[in-house]
Structures are given as structure tokens and as C-alpha cells.
């Protein structure tokens, strides 16, 4: 057997002695090289080699550094676990790399918090400590190449470069034709994350069993009381979504294989059974309600029961496409044989309540601040729905938001008439009237203009679905993966065309560490020569950096140059 990758890096040539000196480009290359080897061994079915390579990866310095970087640069970096410890300095992060060891490792209980759900109930989250998060991120690096190689082709949740829009596009392909399936099993798993069998996970998840068991049995602390965990994988852990995906992998492939064994290949094809899954939400199409009720649903229930899961009797139903169904915030329905996908009424209402809540909580805020609070919400919601038939929903909701803002303005100036309020808070911009906006002072003393994001002005863009057989750790698909990543980033940056130009000129890499910028890592717009010194705001004086790299540049007075490919 070929030699394992050993990388004791005092590892990296140049042996870094502090966090800020780490060559992240090399770290990223080392980790990816090992992940590619794990994926290749998985495809070959060489499980002994997979296990050996995983062990090598989780012991490598590069993987440990990458894991620490991930948990200290993501959105949860300011949320502590039960030990109240945060890794918020370069010195602590450097020390943390050396703490990621399996020998003697004992995870602490999760800190239980509850967040509100759309239906008014609360969703439990378990917050691990920073050390436990980093250990999960480390072992996830070794698990993902295996889980990707064994995933169903139409599973889209919590996987690289896959999104809800891909799931929507696949359903469009399954349901839009005249000869497409007319019946849909809307399935809802009852408390998926809370009830997955620990025994099943320990037997079937291809990772270190001892470490996995420690995480599953760590327990939770709520209001000072310890509670044991006998089932489930906690929502809040970095590795939890992948564990849930592993548990549900096979739902698509095994269902079709089972039907083919029982009914034959030709008859199974005529049944038009297609599965589309996003995490624990999935729908299954079928040619008749009988095949879904008598063949598909019992098989799914048995598949789930082995994993300790059950379908919710209240939320699981079989519907005709003419009546429509909701999935991932969209409503799918055929009108006179034409399939239209629109934002669901429930999704629109939930979002409008959130907007009204923000407006209500900021009765005395300056108009500029309120716009800055609302714009990311409005833009994010509109971009989510921009691949579907959403123009009418955008226009209706924009009118409702206008009415809420009008009430906000009237409440502030009860003694003023409507004309005065209109002139103060609204303006005409181009061919648009009643634009909620205001003039603001800029750094140089001149005035700029900020306005509320226009929902109705959001362009409708057809989404290009990812290939079903895309494997992020297959070197042959590297170029396709890069293309996908850049397309998704363009989408995120669509409201700032200058960012797109900078991103393209930097080939999607941070100008400091030269590692990839993604939606998960985020990015900051940095001025090479500072504006406070009177320097230009032109693109030639700007680069995109990872948020943490941006902090390093300012804290240590580092100089960033325009990449060689920039113009």
C-alpha cells in the first residue's frame, strides 16, 4: 500500500511560529490533496485504505490549522459553549492547533438554546465549545470526501456548491412536462435531528467510532441542568448536517432499486418515481396516488425506522400537482398543464412579519439606519426567489412594505400633513416614484444617496442546475466546481458590480492569503492606500480580502498588492 501522507509540519517549509505567519494557500492545498485521495479510495471501495487516509488527515497539522480557521472565521465565532471560551486572538488560535488531539479528548456538554421557528414554536440548538467545534470541523474534513462519494444524486442540502435552487430546478424537470408525474408524496420526518439512532450512526458513519460516540453522548446543559442524549445529532454542531445526510443517503437509490427488483425495470420507469431531497425535507413523485400510498410510502417508513426515524402523520400527505404543494419556501402547482413555481404564501407572510418587526422596533431610528437594516433582508429574500415566477409577489410585498413605512413616518410626525412627510421621506428616482430614501454625508463632505432596495426591480433569472454526478473531490471536475463557485459568488455580489470586477481580477482568491473566497468565508473590500489619507476609491486602489485577513492587514500594518492578473 502506498505510503500514507505524513505531514508533521513543523510541517510547512518556513515552519510558521505564529498564527499570522501561516501560509494558508499551502494549508488548503495539503488538505485538498489528502481529501482527493480519500475520495478515490472511496470510489474504489477500498475501505481499509479510506480509514488509514482519514486517520492520517485528522492527525495532520494542515487539517488542524484549517479546522481552527473555519470555526474562528464563521458566523458562530462569537458564540461560546458551556465553558464560555472564545478563540478571539491570534495567540489563542495558534495554541488551539496543538490542542486538537484524539488521545484523552473528552467533549463537554452542549449549551442548549432555543431559536424561534416560522410556526411560532422554538427550535432547540446545541452549542458546542470552541474546542469541540474545531474537533468536529477536523473530522468533517475526513468525512466529507466519503459522504460525497456515497450521496444520492438528487440530495442538495449541506453539500458543496448545491443549493435549494438546484432542488427546485430538479423538481421542475420532474414535473413540468405533459407526461410528467401528476402525484407527489410530501414527506416530513418527525424531529429528524432529535431522533436519529445513535447505534445506527455508530455502525454506519465512516469515521472514528470512539470520537463519534463521545459527541453523540456528550449531553446538553439547559438552565444549569445536565440532560443525557440517548438519540439524535444536535442541531448546531458543524458535523451534524453531514451526519443527517449520511443517515438519509440511499433513500433515492435504494428506493428505485427496490422497486426494480419487485416490479421490474420497465414498470418502475412507468411509475415515474423521483426523489428530491434537501437535508431532511424531501418529496417523491409518482404516476398514481396508489403507487405512492401502497409501494413508496411503506418502503420509506421502513427505511426510516431502521434509523430511528418516523414520518409525521400530520404533515405527510399525497397531493395532485393541480392542487399544488409547498417545498423549500416555494409553491409548485400546474395551471392548465403549465407548471408555475412561486414564493409560497406562508413564506411571504413570514418574511413580511420579520420586516414589520424591524420597522416596529426602530420607531425612532434615523431613516438611513432603517434602510441599512432592511436592505440586506429585502435583497436576500428577493434573490432567493429570483429564479421562480416571483414578479407579482415582489410587487405585492413592496406595496405592503411601503404601507408599513408610511405608518412609521406618520407616527413620527403626527402634526405634519401628508405632503410634508412625502417630501421628507420619499422621492422620485428615474421613472420610480415613492422611493424611500435620503441624502447622506460621505467622507469627503459631499452628499450621497441611500434608498430602500426595490423588490419589484429584482430581475428574474433562470437558475442553471448543478450536474447530478458532480463530486467536489474529483480532480476531473475541478474546473466545473470552480465555475460553479464563481457563478454563486457573482449571484451574492450582484448588487455590487464593482465587487464582481475585483473578484474576477483576483480569480476568486483573497489578495492576502490567496485562498478561495466563498459565501461561507465572506469578503471585505479593502483600500490599499487608505481613503482617510485622501486616496482614491477607484478599483485600482481596492482588493477583496477574507474578513480575518482584513483584520490582520490593519492590526499588523501589512501591505497588500494588487494581484498580478489585475488590470
- Span 86-112, mean pLDDT? 93
How confident is the model over 515-559, as pLDDT tens digits? 888 877 888 888 887 655 555 667 778 889 888 888 888 777 777
| CA geometry: angle 17, 21, 24, nearest 5 deg | 120
State whether 421 and 482 are in the same domain: no
Contact status, residue 145 vs residue 39, Cβ threshold 8 Å: yes
266, with CB counted inside 10 A (0-12, 13-18, 19+), is exposed
Determine, yes or no, domain membership for 228: yes
State whether 132 and 207 are in the same domain: yes
Determine, yes or no, domain membership for 243: no
The residue among 550, 168, 170, 525 whose CA lies nearest residue 341 is: 168
The answer, yes or no, to whether residue 3 has pLDDT greater than 50, is no
The answer, yes or no, to whether residue 232 has pLDDT greater than 90, is no
pLDDT at 119: 65
| CA geometry: angle 314, 351, 392, nearest 5 deg | 100
DSSP letter at 293 equals: I
- Span 304-314, mean pLDDT? 94
State whether 83 and 144 are in the same domain: yes
| The three grid cell numbers given for residue 326, joined into one nine-digit string | 409547498
State whether 134 and 84 are in the same domain: yes
Given the C-alpha cell 486602489, which residue does it identify? Answer: 541
Euclidean distance between CA atoms 157 and 54, whole angstroms: 23
User: Where are the extended beta strands (E) located within 87-246?
Assistant: 110-116, 122-127, 183-188, 220-222, 225-227
State whether 221 and 116 are in the same domain: yes
The answer, yes or no, to whether residue 431 has pLDDT greater than 80, is yes
Helix (H, G, I), strand (E, B) or coil at 124: strand
State whether 36 and 144 are in the same domain: yes
- Please report, rounded to a whole number, the percentage of residues in the chain having pLDDT higher than 70: 93
- 230 compared with 10, residue with greater pLDDT: 230
Determine, yes or no, domain membership for 495: yes
Determine, yes or no, domain membership for 10: no
Euclidean distance between CA atoms 359 and 149, whole angstroms: 46
As a whole number, the mean pLDDT across the chain is: 89
The answer, yes or no, to whether residue 366 has pLDDT greater than 90, is yes
For the ranges 56-60, 112-116, 278-282, 321-325, the lowest mean pLDDT is seen at 112-116
Determine, yes or no, domain membership for 85: yes
For 283, the enclosing helix (H) or strand (E) is: strand 281-286
Determine, yes or no, domain membership for 378: yes
pLDDT at 498: 79
- Span 192-214, mean pLDDT? 94
State whether 429 and 482 are in the same domain: no
- Report CA 84 to chain centroid distance, whole Å: 26
State whether 92 and 218 are in the same domain: yes
Euclidean distance between CA atoms 312 and 331, whole angstroms: 20
The answer, yes or no, to whether residue 404 has pLDDT greater than 50, is yes
How confident is the model over 466-510, as pLDDT tens digits? 998 999 999 999 889 888 887 777 766 666 777 878 888 888 888
The residue among 481, 482, 483, 503 whose CA lies nearest residue 493 is: 503
State whether 508 and 394 are in the same domain: no
State whether 427 and 529 are in the same domain: no
pLDDT at 120: 67
Give the total residue count for the chain. 567
The residue among 372, 315, 302, 304 whose CA lies nearest residue 346 is: 315
The answer, yes or no, to whether residue 455 has pLDDT greater than 70, is yes
State whether 71 and 147 are in the same domain: yes
For 167, the enclosing helix (H) or strand (E) is: helix 164-175
**Could you tell me the CATH number of the domain that includes residue 537?**
3.40.1800
Determine, yes or no, domain membership for 358: yes
The residue among 155, 128, 134, 130 whose CA lies nearest residue 242 is: 155
- Backbone phi, then psi, for 188, in 5-degree steps? -135, 120
State whether 360 and 490 are in the same domain: no
The answer, yes or no, to whether residue 14 has pLDDT greater than 70, is no
| The three grid cell numbers given for residue 365, joined into one nine-digit string | 431610528
The residue among 83, 71, 107 whose CA lies nearest residue 229 is: 107
Structural domain boundaries enclosing 137: 19-152+198-236
User: Where are the extended beta strands (E) located within 492-541?
Assistant: 524-527
Number of domains in the chain: 3
Determine, yes or no, domain membership for 505: yes
Amino acid at each position: 500500500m502506498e505510503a500514507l501522507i505524513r505531514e508533521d509540519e513543523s510541517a510547512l517549509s518556513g515552519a510558521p511560529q505564529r498564527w499570522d505567519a501561516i501560509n494558508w494557500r499551502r494549508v488548503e492545498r495539503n488538505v485538498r490533496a489528502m481529501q482527493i485521495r480519500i475520495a478515490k479510495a472511496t470510489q474504489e471501495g477500498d475501505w481499509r485504505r479510506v480509514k488509514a487516509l482519514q486517520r492520517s488527515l485528522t492527525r495532520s497539522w494542515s487539517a488542524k490549522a484549517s479546522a481552527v480557521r473555519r470555526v474562528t472565521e464563521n458566523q458562530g465565532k462569537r458564540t461560546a459553549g458551556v465553558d464560555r471560551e472564545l478563540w478571539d486572538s491570534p495567540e489563542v488560535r495558534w495554541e488551539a492547533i496543538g490542542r486538537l488531539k484524539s488521545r484523552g479528548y473528552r467533549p463537554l456538554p452542549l449549551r442548549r438554546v432555543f431559536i424561534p421557528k416560522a410556526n411560532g414554536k422554538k427550535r432547540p440548538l446545541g452549542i458546542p465549545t470552541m474546542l469541540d467545534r474545531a474537533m468536529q470541523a477536523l473530522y468533517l474534513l475526513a468525512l466529507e470526501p466519503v459522504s460525497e462519494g456515497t450521496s444520492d444524486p438528487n440530495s442538495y442540502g449541506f453539500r458543496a456548491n448545491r443549493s435549494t435552487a438546484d432542488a427546485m430546478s430538479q423538481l421542475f424537470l420532474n414535473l413540468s412536462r405533459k407526461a410528467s408525474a401528476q402525484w407527489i408524496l410530501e414527506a416530513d420526518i418527525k424531529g429528524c435531528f432529535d431522533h436519529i439512532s445513535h447505534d445506527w450512526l455508530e455502525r454506519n458513519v465512516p469515521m472514528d467510532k470512539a470520537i463519534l460516540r463521545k459527541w453523540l453522548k456528550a449531553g446538553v446543559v439547559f438552565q444549569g441542568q445536565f440532560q443525557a442524549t440517548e438519540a439524535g445529532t444536535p442541531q448546531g454542531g458543524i458535523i451534524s448536517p453531514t451526519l443527517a445526510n449520511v443517515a438519509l443517503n440511499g433513500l433515492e437509490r435504494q428506493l428505485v432499486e427496490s422497486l426494480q427488483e419487485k416490479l421490474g425495470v420497465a414498470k418502475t420507469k412507468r411509475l415515474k418515481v423521483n426523489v428530491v431531497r434537501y437535508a431532511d425535507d424531501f418529496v417523491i413523485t409518482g404516476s398514481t396516488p396508489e403507487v405512492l400510498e401502497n409501494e413508496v410510502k411503506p418502503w420509506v417508513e421502513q427505511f426510516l425506522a431502521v434509523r430511528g426515524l418516523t414520518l409525521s402523520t400530520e404533515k405527510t400527505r399525497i397531493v395532485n400537482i393541480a392542487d399544488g404543494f409547498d417545498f423549500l419556501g416555494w409553491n409548485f402547482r400546474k395551471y392548465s398543464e403549465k407548471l408555475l413555481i412561486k414564493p409560497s404564501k406562508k413564506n411571504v407572510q413570514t418574511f413580511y412579519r420579520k420586516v414589520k418587526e424591524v420597522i416596529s422596533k426602530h420607531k425612532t431610528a434615523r431613516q438611513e439606519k432603517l434602510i441599512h437594516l432592511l436592505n440586506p433582508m429585502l435583497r436576500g429574500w428577493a434573490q432567493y426567489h429570483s429564479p421562480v415566477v416571483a414578479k407579482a409577489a415582489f410587487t405585492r410585498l413592496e406595496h405592503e412594505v411601503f404601507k408599513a413605512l408610511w405608518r412609521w413616518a406618520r407616527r413620527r410626525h403626527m402634526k405634519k400633513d401628508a405632503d410634508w412627510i412625502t417630501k421628507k421621506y420619499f422621492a422620485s428616482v428615474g421613472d420610480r416614484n415613492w422611493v424611500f430614501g435620503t441624502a447622506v454625508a460621505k467622507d469627503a463632505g459631499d452628499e450621497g444617496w441611500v434608498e430602500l432596495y426595490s423588490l419589484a426591480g429584482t430581475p428574474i433569472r433562470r437558475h442553471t442546475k448543478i450536474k447530478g454526478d458532480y463530486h467536489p473531490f474529483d480532480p476531473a471536475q475541478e474546473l466545473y466546481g470552480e465555475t460553479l463557485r464563481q457563478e454563486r459568488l457573482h449571484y451574492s455580489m450582484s448588487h455590487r458590480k464593482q465587487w464582481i470586477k475585483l473578484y474576477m481580477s483576483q480569480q476568486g482568491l483573497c489578495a492576502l492569503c490567496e485562498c478561495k473566497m466563498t459565501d461561507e468565508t465572506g469578503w471585505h473590500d479593502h483600500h490599499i492606500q487608505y481613503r482617510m489619507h485622501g486616496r482614491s476609491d477607484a478599483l485600482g486602489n481596492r482588493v477583496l480580502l477574507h474578513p480575518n485577513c482584513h483584520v490582520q492587514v490593519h492590526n499588523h500594518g501589512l501591505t497588500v498588492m494588487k494581484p498580478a492578473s489585475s488590470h
